[in-house]
């Protein structure tokens, strides 16, 4: 019964957040954020979309940190792909242009064995269940932590990545990758790449989905098994030095 009530509350929370956030017109070029290994060939992707349907047969040009790496033609499903080998660790800006339209994404390039911090947006950044306001001090502490460890925001609920990015930007958060959680599949993917988890901040479901990986530090703003309960982001900042 307790688990059912938690699921019900989470569902209501997600529906209300969708209601509270203003609708955002979909970009015609969508570029997903990525976590990759430095020096390994990857496939950048972009989706060209109209207001209702995919736009196939579009010429798109890929840019990394402002430098063009070539053009490709989008397929009938609207997707275009381009090979790329990141040569430097850290964050890279990916821009894809199609005619007058363009989209941006972030590429986080890491060395094998690096430890990352994952932040569950829905489970750790909102001030309250029905609030659009960020938790006090979260922007400042996350910026400090990002100077020591790579950080990735997790999309865990019904809010789209586009809506999450708009909210993060509107509230002054550092520009960092936003990656779908997908019930913990993200952790399987980074394990395959030889990357590690330094810490996870978020809800019970996110923390539980990662507890099998290197026993990372876990923090939550509610009582969660196998996690340290914290009262504010200042406390998290002190514990992640």
SS (H, E, C) 204-228: HHHHHHHCCCCCCEEEECCCCCCCE
Question: In order along the chain (241 residues), what is the average pLDDT of each group of 10 residues?
Answer: 52 49 59 97 93 81 98 94 96 96 96 97 88 94 97 91 95 97 95 95 94 86 92 95 79
Class of 112-239 per CATH? Answer: alpha beta
pLDDT at 207: 95
Whose structure tokens read 């590690």? 196
pLDDT at 12: 54
- What is the overall mean pLDDT for the chain? 89
pLDDT at 211: 81
29-110: CATH topology is Immunoglobulin-like (2.60.40)
Rounded Cα gap, residues 69 and 50, in angstroms: 25
Rounded Cα gap, residues 82 and 52, in angstroms: 25
pLDDT at 8: 55
Sign of CA dihedral 151, 155, 159, 161: positive
Rounded Cα gap, residues 214 and 208, in angstroms: 13
pLDDT at 20: 47
Domain parsing of the chain, residue ranges? 29-110, 112-239
- Asked if domains 29-110 and 112-239 share a fold, the reply is no
DSSP state of 170: H
């Amino acid at each position: 019964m307790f688990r059912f009530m938690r699921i019900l509350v989470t569902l209501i929370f997600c529906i209300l957040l969708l209601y509270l956030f203003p609708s955002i017109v979909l970009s015609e070029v969508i570029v997903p954020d990525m976590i990759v290994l430095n020096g390994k060939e990857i496939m950048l992707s972009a989706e060209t979309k109209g207001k209702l349907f995919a736009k196939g047969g579009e010429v798109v040009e890929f840019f990394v940190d402002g430098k063009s790496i070539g053009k490709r033609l989008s397929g009938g499903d609207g997707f275009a792909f381009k090979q790329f080998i990141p040569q430097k660790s850290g964050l890279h800006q990916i821009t894809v242009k199609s005619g007058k339209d363009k989209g941006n994404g972030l590429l986080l390039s890491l060395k094998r064995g690096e430890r990352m911090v994952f932040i569950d947006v829905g489970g750790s950044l909102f001030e309250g269940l029905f609030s659009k306001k960020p938790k006090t001090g979260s922007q400042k502490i996350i910026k400090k932590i990002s100077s020591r460890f790579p950080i990735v925001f997790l999309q865990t609920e019904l809010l789209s990545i586009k809506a999450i990015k708009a909210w993060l930007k509107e509230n002054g958060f550092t520009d960092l990758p936003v990656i779908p959680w997908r019930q913990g599949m993200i952790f399987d993917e980074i394990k395959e790449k030889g990357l590690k988890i330094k810490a996870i901040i978020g809800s019970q479901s996110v923390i539980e989905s990662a507890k099998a990986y290197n026993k990372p530090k876990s923090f939550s703003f509610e009582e969660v098994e196998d996690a340290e309960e914290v009262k504010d982001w200042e406390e998290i900042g002190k514990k992640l030095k």
